[in-house]
Structure 1
Amino acid sequence: MRAASLGVQLFVWLTAGLGGLSGAALAAGPSPAAQVDPSFTTRLAEARRAAAALPERGLAQLRALRAGPLVQGRLAARLVVDEAECRVLSDIDALLAISVADAGLALVTGGVNQSEHAPWLRLRACRAGMLLSEGRRQEGLTELEAVLEAQAGATDASAVALARLERGLYRSRQGDLDAGQKDLLEACAALKPLGNVRDLNLCLGHLANHYKRVGDTDEALRLLMPLRDAARHDGADFDDAVYTFGMAQVLQRQSRWDEALVAYRETSQAHERLQDRIGQGYSEHGIAQVLLKQGQPALALRHVERALALVDRPSDPGQYELIVVLQAELLQALGRPQAALACLDEVEGAVRQRQSLPAMADWMRVRAQTMRALGHWREAYDALTEARDLEARLQAQQLSEQSARWRMQFNRARDAEELSNLRRLYEQGQQLRRMQALALGLGVLLLAGLVVLALRKVRQARLLQAQASTDELTGLPNRRAVMAYVAQELQRARRPGGAMSLLLVDVDFFKRVNDTHGHPVGDAVLRHMARMLGEDLRERDRVGRIGGEEFVVVLPGAGLRDAQQVAERMRKRIAASPLQLDALSVPFTISIGVAQAMPTGTVEGLVEQADGALYRAKGSGRNRVMLCGAMAEH
């Protein structure tokens, strides 16, 4: 479930008997040294089966085994037990999993012998996966590469395959879908002939997660269903809940909302019975996602709050960030954009540092929605553009011919022989080389189509933004847009040496124009006036219509007297330029109120001052300019 998947290790408790459940990667089986005593093998298997049903019970048995005589003084057995505990802890407490691995690895002071080498590498692979889940990217990747290069013999094959599995999982979660899928397929192909069902099932579970990410939900469901059924057959309640959660995610991807909601609620109740707060938190997050899609943001917010009470930042930072982003989206949907922005700001640094394309795209999308709701159009546009770019990069990988070819090679087989068939297909290098030119051409065509689609979406976004901020009659910025610009320039005017003035313009006797000539002529007068007001203005000046026959002119950097001169030119130009409609001439005049921004003033106060000056201009006979507080007539 970690990072909206089944888990950093698919809850990695995929080990309970032949079904390969609960800690699949636990099951590299003891090394030769550990297998000398059958009692050790028996007790280790019992602990793994216990973890499949209830992780805390399995952990207790593993810790008792480590402290007992079967492990004391035997490094290989100790490393096997430590890896098992690391895997069980992987979604309960990643930091504790790292601590357990560190304690075991610290015992290796002078190198390892042949019997100890494989469990040593497997423990390092588990630790590396946990480092990646905690955001320690460079450290985790370096450790994985070291494991991949350290294979000394055939007994190390499972450890190397698990390291490749960890790397593929990380790449897939980060949005590097092609490289991630290649690693996962190679890991599964390497594990198949080794005969370890539990390791193989772990790989299948992660592969199902990957297929969800690339949109192949049918294949993901096909892989998850037998894993879930085997868990139920073996009474592995915890694994049952894990796989049911994965199926709920697939149903959600397929927009089967009611079925997904039932499955999420089932897993939430199961994890509550198992006293697994992390698993319950993931399920509550899934419930909230579905409720949002069903148009119930208020109810969804309650489930998000439950998820935040269950999943804290230290124990699962990646999932915590996803929940907070969903919380922001719900707050914005409920008309609370300021609270939504606070949530986004809280996790921005962590999301950017994690460098996960899906998480970053989601964060940018919600930020664009929030900024739009706040009237911050520039910021909204920038966030939307970046979100579209991230989504386009993800879609490009999902549609790539290379990814499709690998997926096709693995998906066509429907039984246990599919991995062997995959290996044979991979050995057909000559055929793949012949297809390379064709694949490259198709990939270019797909990417070109994706670019066209992305550009079309950008144009649509720009059009929607323009429509939301433009007055339909005059083509000028509407009240919301021009007032946002006033607020922006007012902030600049507060700087040392800054200034800004505001003109409030009103058509004199506009009702008389409508009554005499009709509303179409009145509309033409307003359009004519909008064009006249915009003449001779500077690049930073703005004209907007705020309602009826009332307009606003924003003059950044202008003092009161400069603004008075601009207003006077506008008044004279309009008085001398009646509207000409065929044989009809419609003269009209305007009155203007002028106000200058004060260092401590507000947008509302500035508009109120200009409105007061306009009122005095109207009361003094109209067709004139009045200054705020000056009572001067021009």
Structure 2
Amino acid sequence: MYHFRWLQVALFSILLTTFFSSFKAQAEPISMWQSPYKELILQTAKAPTEVLQKLLKQTPTQEQNYLQHGQYHSVLSIIYYSLTYPKEALQHAQTALTFIDPSTQPWLFHMTKLNEARALDLSGKPKEGLAASNAALVWAELNKDINLRVSALYVRGIISNSMLDYQSALSDLQLAYELAPQTELHSQGDVAGVLALVYEYRREDALAIPFFQEAVHFHEQNQNYLELSIALYGLGRAHKNIGNIEIGRTQLQQSQDLAEQVGDEQGVAYALKELAGILLLEKRFIEARAKLQQASSIFQKSQNVYMLLDTNLSLLRVAIAEKNIELGKQYLAAAQANVDPEQMPLQNISLEEMNAKLLALEGKHRQAFELLDSTVFLKQRILSQQSTQQLHSLRSKYEIEIKDRENKLLEQKNASQQISINDVETKNLQLLMLFGATLIICGLLIVMVYRTIQNRTKLEELANVDGLTGLANRRNALELLQKQIDLAHRHKFQLSVAIIDIDLFKKINDTFGHASGDEVLTKFGELCQDTFRQTDVMGRIGGEEFVIVFPHTSLHDAEQTLKLLSHNVKKLPISFDLNGLTLSISIGLTEYVAGMTLENLMLQCDSALYQAKGSGRDQIVIFDSQNPSSMQLAL
């Protein structure tokens, strides 16, 4: 979760090739980099350390105008960022801003603010750069600057990913991926690896691999060795995470070799850290520790807080595996020095979990259990949305206020009794105040209960609904199917079940892109909800595979409804702006027979679906339990 390396540097690839032209005068607004900065930026993808040395030797003189100084420090920020030096990148971005007038040079101002935002993210302060990315995006859209718009989307996507808002990150990065072909020098290969990182952070490494492979292919063709090293790092790490250890080891070693070749010291450290992880899996603890210590010394130079934390956590895992408690405590303290619980909540939770393991190793099992128990609560809190967090804050605030009111009322009551028992007016006033406070408290409690129910409903929806199609997800759909089987068995009613497969869906993704494929799935989900009854069960059980359950429905009635769906599916391409898109579905249909299990029912549907696809697709096949080899076709 802590590897921000690809997200941090791959954005540089976007900024790297987009902005070129010459400037006329300091007061004249610009929208491109001025020579020689344009050429230096373009060279950075192949030899970043050489470019840095050249630029450091070309410091602007006092006689040169503010625009020249502003560009110089802004480009220095970009290069330091590409080499993963957050402190230097932030320093030069902020220095550049002192030379730039936002009213006369808005493009350069917003581009430099994006540099500052990326450096803040790399420094572990992503929230501080969010406003700048929003402002740059608004300016780019108003001025129809497609290049700055893509850059702003990427920066905001990076920040959202760092803040664990994966949905927003995916939304921004997917839009940038779609817009990339419209830019002057952009390619989707430039940005594919950045999008892959979001899937990797969500621990969906299998989904990340195709995007990493696309990035590797693009950078190999263009000989962008810095980005190629980073793409290979992401690809190797993803393969390692899904168990392809040797493939991952080879790609990570290639990444290290390329990083050494271009002088990317930070890239070497990233690769060393992941290679050490493989050695740890193989219980080669001495070799793992040596690589981690080497990586840590490199990260220390750049003050890369994320990777210093991650490396010390890995060293802590080695110490725990060797049952070396004292060494583990040293690494724990080093990791704690680099974590900001507010800015890095998941990293802080991982640190607490490792601390619990260390306590257990010491024999302090109760303390370890209590610490682990607290991390469960923290994880649940992180999953809550911002409104839920505000509710918790409000509830705590009002609990304190209620206690204060109760104490004040008690003090007033005691004082009133001491002054005059017969003072009826004062007593009535106090009762009135108490009644009013009680009404307020009841109202607040009602609001809190209502908000809690709302949030619980949202969490249940996230757990049960497929986010792309709006239908039940696989787990929920199969649970609902089992309930219908039990009801059909108990009450002896008819139950029909169908499995639907969108024909040649892979070809749609390959031809029109994954974003278009996702749009097809979304529209198909909406069509299902419009076609079937509310009492029917609709669920997505695979990439392009869906299950439909028809309670109290015969095979004939189910078939008629499915024919209507098939007919309407063919009309769907009208709503897409995709030339050449055709859609059809293949359907396997069967009927529940008393005593059948869910597995047998699904097997019959799969068998019928297989027959439908094998017979040319775009048809319904009804499973014949008496003679499976001669199942009925319904075109």
Please classify the TM superposition score into its range, dividing by the shorter chain length.
0.5 to 0.7
The CA deviation at 1:211 is 1.4
C-alpha distance in 1 between matches for 2:529 and 2:140:
32
Contact 2:127 2:159 in 1 (8 A): no
| 1:103 aligned partner | 95
C-alpha distance in 2 between matches for 1:68 and 1:400:
63
Report the TM-score, using the length of structure 2 for normalisation: 0.57
Instruction: Summarize the Cα distance change of 1:263–1:388 in structure 2 as closer, same or farther, 3 Å threshold.
Output: farther
Residue 89 in 1 paired to residue 80 in 2?
yes
Alignment of 1:452-467 (within 5 A): none
The CA deviation at 1:233 is 2.9
| 2:319 aligned partner | 331
Aligned residue type for 1:10 = V
| 1:205 aligned partner | 193
Aligned residue type for 1:125 = L
The CA deviation at 1:403 is 5.2
C-alpha distance in 1 between matches for 2:66 and 2:522:
40
Name the SS for the 1:205 alignment partner: helix
Contact 1:121 1:156 in 2 (8 A): no
C-alpha distance in 2 between matches for 1:154 and 1:433:
40
Contact 1:219 1:411 in 2 (8 A): no
Structure 1 residue aligned with 2:241, among 237, 250, 253?
253
The CA deviation at 1:291 is 1.2
| 2:272 aligned partner | 284
Name the SS for the 2:103 alignment partner: coil
Residue 179 in 1 paired to residue 200 in 2?
no
| 1:418 aligned partner | 513
The CA deviation at 1:318 is 1.1
Structure 1 residue aligned with 2:20, among 30, 47, 62?
30
Structure 1 residue aligned with 2:153, among 164, 171, 182?
164
| 1:134 aligned partner | 123
Aligned residue type for 1:86 = S
| 1:56 aligned partner | 49
The range that moved more, 362-371 or 268-277, is 268-277
The CA deviation at 1:321 is 0.7
The CA deviation at 1:98 is 1.5
Residue 146 in 1 paired to residue 135 in 2?
yes
| 1:244 aligned partner | 232
Aligned residue type for 1:197 = H
C-alpha distance in 2 between matches for 1:365 and 1:348:
12
Name the SS for the 1:9 alignment partner: helix
Contact 2:266 2:299 in 1 (8 A): yes
Q: Deviation digits for residues 446-484 of structure 1, max 9, x if unmatched?
A: xxxxxxxxxxxxxxxxxxxxxxxxxxxxxxxxxxxxxxx
> Quick one: percent identity of the two aligned structures?
14
C-alpha distance in 1 between matches for 2:522 and 2:321:
52
Is there any run of 5+ residues in structure 1 with no aligned partner, and where? 15-23, 446-634
The CA deviation at 1:434 is 6.7
Instruction: Summarize the Cα distance change of 1:314–1:233 in structure 2 as closer, same or farther, 3 Å threshold.
Output: closer
The CA deviation at 1:41 is 6.8
| 1:10 aligned partner | 9
Contact 1:6 1:209 in 2 (8 A): no
Q: Deviation digits for residues 189-228 of structure 1, max 9, x if unmatched?
A: 3444334416x54432210111112233233221222322
The CA deviation at 1:3 is 3.4
Structure 2 residue aligned with 1:222, among 210, 214, 218?
210
C-alpha distance in 1 between matches for 2:131 and 2:103:
20
Contact 2:60 2:69 in 1 (8 A): no
The CA deviation at 1:322 is 0.6
Instruction: Summarize the Cα distance change of 1:424–1:369 in structure 2 as closer, same or farther, 3 Å threshold.
Output: closer
The CA deviation at 1:411 is 9.6
C-alpha distance in 2 between matches for 1:421 and 1:172:
23
C-alpha distance in 2 between matches for 1:416 and 1:106:
48
Aligned residue type for 1:318 = Y
The CA deviation at 1:31 is 6.3
**Higher alpha-carbon Rg:** 1
Computed over aligned residues only, the root mean square deviation of the Cα atoms, in angstroms, reads 4.5
Name the SS for the 1:342 alignment partner: helix
Name the SS for the 1:92 alignment partner: coil
Report the TM-score, using the length of structure 1 for normalisation: 0.57
Instruction: Summarize the Cα distance change of 1:256–1:418 in structure 2 as closer, same or farther, 3 Å threshold.
Output: same
Instruction: Summarize the Cα distance change of 1:253–1:432 in structure 2 as closer, same or farther, 3 Å threshold.
Output: farther
Contact 2:72 2:96 in 1 (8 A): no
C-alpha distance in 2 between matches for 1:184 and 1:40:
24
Instruction: Summarize the Cα distance change of 1:74–1:339 in structure 2 as closer, same or farther, 3 Å threshold.
Output: closer
Residue 363 in 1 paired to residue 351 in 2?
yes
Residue 303 in 1 paired to residue 303 in 2?
no
The CA deviation at 1:401 is 4.8
C-alpha distance in 2 between matches for 1:400 and 1:88:
45
Structure 2 residue aligned with 1:272, among 252, 260, 271?
260
C-alpha distance in 1 between matches for 2:24 and 2:370:
59
Alignment of 1:412-561 (within 5 A): 414=509, 417-418=512-513, 421=516, 431=526
| 2:613 aligned partner | none
Instruction: Summarize the Cα distance change of 1:423–1:213 in structure 2 as closer, same or farther, 3 Å threshold.
Output: closer
The CA deviation at 1:159 is 2.5
Instruction: Summarize the Cα distance change of 1:431–1:73 in structure 2 as closer, same or farther, 3 Å threshold.
Output: farther
The CA deviation at 1:374 is 0.6
C-alpha distance in 1 between matches for 2:509 and 2:66:
42
| 1:579 aligned partner | none
Name the SS for the 2:5 alignment partner: coil
Contact 1:147 1:163 in 2 (8 A): yes
Q: Deviation digits for residues 417-463 of structure 1, max 9, x if unmatched?
A: 5388489779979959979x99xx999x9xxxxxxxxxxxxxxxxxx
C-alpha distance in 1 between matches for 2:271 and 2:286:
17
Is there any run of 5+ residues in structure 2 with no aligned partner, and where? 385-458, 474-504, 542-635
Q: Deviation digits for residues 15-39 of structure 1, max 9, x if unmatched?
A: xxxxxxxxx22333136747999x9
Contact 2:126 2:163 in 1 (8 A): no
Contact 2:196 2:207 in 1 (8 A): yes
The range that moved more, 54-63 or 94-103, is 54-63
| 2:360 aligned partner | 372
Instruction: Summarize the Cα distance change of 1:102–1:346 in structure 2 as closer, same or farther, 3 Å threshold.
Output: same
The CA deviation at 1:268 is 2.3
| 1:121 aligned partner | 110
Q: Deviation digits for residues 118-144 of structure 1, max 9, x if unmatched?
A: 232122112112112212344222333
| 2:582 aligned partner | none
Alignment of 1:382-397 (within 5 A): 382-388=370-376
Instruction: Summarize the Cα distance change of 1:430–1:263 in structure 2 as closer, same or farther, 3 Å threshold.
Output: closer
Q: Deviation digits for residues 278-298 of structure 1, max 9, x if unmatched?
A: 111111110111111222223
Instruction: Summarize the Cα distance change of 1:433–1:180 in structure 2 as closer, same or farther, 3 Å threshold.
Output: farther
C-alpha distance in 1 between matches for 2:213 and 2:374:
37
Aligned residue type for 1:25 = L
Instruction: Summarize the Cα distance change of 1:287–1:377 in structure 2 as closer, same or farther, 3 Å threshold.
Output: same
Determine which structure has greater relative contact order: mean sequence separation of CA pairs < 8 Å that are 6+ residues apart, divided by chain length.
1
The CA deviation at 1:252 is 1.1
C-alpha distance in 1 between matches for 2:8 and 2:42:
17
